Structure 1
Amino acid sequence: MIDQVANSKDEGNSSSENTAYFNVVRPREFGSVNFLGLKTLYKREVNRFLKVGMQTLLAPVVSALLFMAIFKLAFPERSDIAGIAFGDFIAPGIIMMAIMNNAFQNTSSSITIAKVQGNTTDFLMAPLSSLELALGFLAGGATRGILVGLVTMICIGVLGVANVSVHSIPAFLFYSIIASFMMAAIGLIGGIWAEKFDHLAAVTNFIILPMTMLSGTFYPITVFSEPFETLSHFNPFFHLIDGFRYAFTGQAEGSLLVGASVSLIIAAALCGACWAVLRSGYKMKA
């Protein structure tokens, strides 16, 4: 009888210990969205480029200012374009180019470096869904793009090389956000696809750069003869730059409604593609 009571106590103690053990090691339960994990990933992406601010923030601003200086010096007597001073015309295009390039570079370099160094498990093993991973990377890339654009705009205004007063705040915010997320999505997809930095450079040199330079960044697309002028309207970068230029000058070469709709649809489709690619594990999971 005593042995039975002792065994019963031992079993009870063992059961209590097991219960306590399982209470300790039970995986943390999250709601429908892991806000803590999403915030952590976003902070990781932001801190990653802030730690090398000379390279990621200052260098793009200097490049944008050099573009402004070169065009101002090369065309000192350049006449107004549709009643807009030449410097005021190209400044929004240069600012938008800085936003787009840096949003692309942030996500593409983040994923490519992680793959090359073999530390993709840092975020793949975290309790984050594919949608949360996509949002974290895209938000980090968009933050860098918008931040570089704001600093570039302030520097251009302070130096007095162009008038950067905002004509339409809604258009300014809309195109800044849409462009940064669109390019961050392209960078994320490109980074996942690329196996080395040469592949990423190919995306930049053969897709991003030509589309940017042929989008009316430094000139009105009316300088093209047909059918190239019409074909320019099929370049999504043209609508981004044209709408962003409208935010400063109040004038646009194309339809703002069509441009805003096309930009929104493409950005949403690319962000959805990022979620789908991460969910499939394409080139991310062994």
Structure 2
Amino acid sequence: MTTASDEPSIPRFPTRGARRFGAVNWLGTWTLYVKEVRRFWKVLVQTIVAPVITTLLYLAIFALAVGHLRPAVHGVPFIEFLAPGLIMMTMIQNAFANTSSSILISKVQGNIVDLLMPPLSPGELNFGIAMAGVTRGVVVGLVTAASMLPFVGLQVAHLWAVVFFAVGASLMLSLLGMIGGIWSEKFDHLQAVTNFIVLPLTFLSGTFYSVEQLPGFAHTITHWNPVFYLIDGFRYGFTGQADSSIETGVVLTIAINAVLWIVSDRLFRRGYRLKG
């Protein structure tokens, strides 16, 4: 007679869809983040150097052509008022470009499956790609600010505001870039998002001027532009002066990022325009 102990043990395999990494696949998320960072770091001239040079050209044009003609804004010399706006503009444009191009190129080349097949949850995909976009935005901002120092006397009045709005703005446009990249099926679609959404929001947000100089209707419209609060809050961090309520900017930044995070997470969960 055989006993239960004599019977061969039956190997137990994890049920279909079970994860062996715990609640969060930390290694997989970190690997995805590093992969996305290395993607833009390998083309450093295109992704870091070129945006910095473009921003310095903006600064040179305004400084040489109109800088001496423009009065101080809130007691701040015009060039010192302009510089934080240019830095923020560069950060958000590059954060958007990083995530949107990553997803769309993967779709066009047909290797989006390499992103979807690894054992990563939608939340982990969301986090890894978004944080890489934030990294590129912040790196470009740091390099741009350092490049401006010989020409502009940048002084930090409120460090918390500089850090909060730099990270918050980069995250906002990084998430928007992910949504745009998922929605787009070809580069024309993504270019439309850039030209008709990102650029207008950026240029009409007080980057080059104080919104207090605008007439009533334009002044009101500008306050409906979320990028205005990002630039105004970031500029406040350097100059100590703002055209709006900093508290409102903080609340809006957190709220919009939360909404965009939920939207991009849902798109990943549904596989919207990602799965054939």
Deviation at 1:47, TM superposition (A): 0.3
Partner of 2:107: 115
Give the aligned partner of residue 128 of structure 1. Answer: 120
- The answer to whether the Cα contact below 8 Å between 2:67 and 2:79 also exists between their aligned partners in 1 is no
State the TM-score, normalized to the length of structure 2.
Answer: 0.93
Greater Cα radius of gyration, structure 1 or 2 = 1
Note the C-alpha offset of 1:19.
4.3
C-alpha distance in structure 2 between counterparts of 1:70 and 1:56, whole Å: 22
Within the candidate set 46, 53, 66, 2:44 is matched to 53
Cα offset, 1:264, TM superposition: 1.2
User: CA RMSD for the aligned pairs?
Assistant: 2.0
**2:167 matched residue in structure 1:** 177
Separation (CA, whole Å) in 2 of partners of 1:212 and 1:85:
22
5+ residue gaps, structure 2: none
TM value normalised by structure 1:
0.90
**In structure 2, C-alpha distance between the alignment counterparts of 1:143 and 1:267, rounded to whole Å:** 16
Q: 2:245 maps to which residue?
A: 255
Q: 1:33 aligns with which of 21, 24, 30?
A: 24
Q: Could you say which structure has the higher helix fraction?
A: 1
In the TM superposition, residue 76 of structure 1 has moved relative to its aligned partner by: 3.7
8 Å CA contact 2:67–2:78 kept in 1: the answer is no
2:88 and 2:231 in contact (8 A); partners too: yes
Q: CA deviation at 1:82?
A: 1.7
Whole-angstrom CA distance in 1 between matches of 2:108 and 2:197: 23
- Distance in 1, Cα, partners of 2:152 & 2:95: 24
Structure 2 CA distance for aligned equivalents of residues 101 and 76 of structure 1? 24
In 1, Cα distance between equivalents of 2:201 and 2:130: 21
Q: Unpaired runs of 5+ in structure 1?
A: 6-10
Aligned residue in 1 for 2:87: 95
Q: Distance in 2 between matches of 1:164 and 1:268?
A: 31
The one-letter code sitting in structure 2 at the alignment partner of 1:39 is W
Deviation at 1:223, TM superposition (A): 2.1
Q: Aligned ranges for residues 1-286 of structure 1 at < 5 Å?
A: 19=11, 29-77=20-68, 78-157=70-149, 159=150, 161-286=151-276
Measure how far apart 1:92 and its partner are: 0.3
Q: How many residues align?
A: 270
SS in 2 for 1:227: helix
The Cα of 1:80 is off from its aligned counterpart by 1.1
Aligned letter for 2:236?
Y
User: Contact 2:19 / 2:119 at 8 angstroms: preserved in 1?
Assistant: no
Taking the aligned partners of 1:225 and 1:19, their CA distance within structure 2 comes to 75
Higher deviation after alignment, 245-254 or 257-266: 257-266
Equivalent residue number for residue 8 of structure 1: none
Q: After TM superposition, what 4+ stretches of structure 1 lie above 6 angstroms from structure 2?
A: none
Q: Distance in 2 between matches of 1:272 and 1:236?
A: 18
Identical columns (%): 49
